[in-house]
Structure 1
């Protein structure tokens, strides 16, 4: 039996037609003819993303979406986070060569860490194992079933500057954040990477690494954000591993962000680099090392104005 999935909402905030209505109306025209129509809600989709394995599951049926024969995506314009869920899902389905309607979803802009993690993993970039589900109860149940490593990070999918970023010691602690886990601004879970109390911000302009800023935490927190009190110093490219440099360049191309601030953390014992996120506006005129960042930006923009070829995938 070939599964045709209609993915979207059961109710629409503006009263528009929903995926649930389409699926129910479509079944008499399709079911029983070697095909099965299945409605899947955005809220029931769980992402388990790592560099080694990616699973996307309908938590109501516990069926992996890679088993679908075709997928129709609707209703995602009602909420920015739904747009990023659809983008991550489209990247995953396209990787598995599953037909998507509408394939415009493949050309969305990444608006949260969810689609960034999916893009990184599909390009063999090391990331912390990442879990996401809009249904926080389903997320906790999955973590217990998978015996997810503790401690772990719980952070908002779209937050920046270390806001709403928590180091938790048990799955049950997630319940304390249930009210802050909203449709527009949900949490995701990530594997905790123990570092030497620091991480790196790669400031990219024109697809090139212009500055590398090491951010050194205060020691009383897992956060290394400057806005959270970390110290910052510019270091030469020779001071970071070739793997970290390769990660920064690859993610700049993957996300089509020729100007971005890429955050990479290195595991303390091995020095292995893990991609954390790519900031679209990485505190250029504010924060630390403003003169150096503005100088780097000016150089990159003048190169572009003079016709320099951007280091990107067209």
Structure 2
């Protein structure tokens, strides 16, 4: 009796290697696998399409053009140079009950926005539509069939303080930014119409401080960050709707940062829909706006947990 072959995705950090090392490893394993009821496919972590659309996550392997969830199993062979993508794929595989190894991947910290987006998705947390991949794949996708409309927000996965964060109106501008920052991992997100956003400090599972950040009305920048010239002022918690507060706390919990986090929240100025932008593990306390109030919130939490 002929056994039906099971599809196994063998994941590497990159699509190829300049000396053919990745190809050699896969070819050897693939040849040997012919003795087993297995069909091996080579995948590239850095070229995966990580997409959030209407708060639903999908991850496509671009070497096979298949959704990760369609495979019977995943073997992460060489993943260390694409750790955040490895975390994303492992989380997605777990959600869709696709066997994979090793489970240590689930313990990788979401240290960039790539890992954060994946940990936040599929949990009823409102997120902007987001696309993440390599420069090669971003150019390809947005040239032919962009997943959402311009204008776009293009921001570095490891950026902070508004650095390497761009408002992009055209495909030509998108390509120019990618070409000028060839070693930077970017997220592409839909633009949420706004004139301010909020930094919410979470301590012990509760929002203890809310900073409203607003850019100058005459500014050409789309950034509200105080480190990028925006104005910051402390506002009352009830400035935020209950839905917005719940989204902030859910985001902090999903990232395992509900003990301490700075969650960035944006409200669509036309629909009032809240969106979570990110959850910082080390938000600015001793610098920026409202320093004394932020330090007080931190010190009160220190006092509370040591009673």
Considering the TM-score relative to the shorter chain, is it more than 0.5?
yes
How does 1:139-288 map onto structure 2 within 5 Å?
139-143=138-142, 144-146=144-146, 148-183=148-183, 185-195=184-194, 197-219=195-217, 220=219, 221-257=221-257, 258-288=259-289
Q: Are the aligned partners of 1:48 and 1:56 in contact in 2 as well (CA < 8 Å)?
A: yes
| 1:310 matched residue in structure 2 | none
Task: Flag as ranges the 4+ runs of structure 1 deviating above 3 A.
Answer: 9-13, 17-22, 31-34, 179-183
SS where residue 48 of structure 1 aligns? strand
The CA deviation at 1:294 is: 1.0
Q: Are the aligned partners of 1:153 and 1:168 in contact in 2 as well (CA < 8 Å)?
A: yes
CA distance in 1, matches of 2:105, 2:253: 19
The CA deviation at 1:28 is: 2.5
The CA deviation at 1:178 is: 2.5
Give me the TM-score of the superposition, normalised by structure 2. 0.90
Alpha-carbon distance change, 20 to 260 in structure 1, aligned in 2, over 3 angstroms: farther
The CA deviation at 1:244 is: 1.1
| 1:105 matched residue in structure 2 | 105
| Pair 1:39-2:42 in alignment | yes
CA distance in 2, matches of 1:181, 1:55: 26
| 1:289 matched residue in structure 2 | 290
Q: Which residue of the other structure, out of 60, 63, 69, is the alignment partner of 2:63?
A: 60
The CA deviation at 1:191 is: 0.6
The CA deviation at 1:19 is: 5.5
CA distance in 1, matches of 2:260, 2:303: 13
Q: Deviations over 1:225-275 (max 9, x none)?
A: 001111111111111111111111111111111211100100011111000
Give me the TM-score of the superposition, normalised by structure 1. 0.88
Q: Are the aligned partners of 2:153 and 2:167 in contact in 1 as well (CA < 8 Å)?
A: yes
SS where residue 291 of structure 1 aligns? helix
More off after superposition, 261-270 vs 22-31:
22-31
SS where residue 122 of structure 1 aligns? coil
| 1:299 matched residue in structure 2 | 300
The CA deviation at 1:18 is: 6.3
Ranges in structure 1 where 5+ consecutive residues have no aligned partner: 307-314
CA distance in 2, matches of 1:177, 1:140: 11
CA distance in 1, matches of 2:231, 2:246: 25
Q: Deviations over 1:90-137 (max 9, x none)?
A: 111111011110111111111111221122122111111111112x23
Report how many residues are paired: 298
The CA deviation at 1:33 is: 4.5
The CA deviation at 1:6 is: 1.1
CA distance in 2, matches of 1:3, 1:181: 36
| 1:132 matched residue in structure 2 | 132
CA distance in 2, matches of 1:22, 1:206: 47
When the two chains are superposed, the root-mean-square deviation of aligned CA atoms in Å is: 2.1
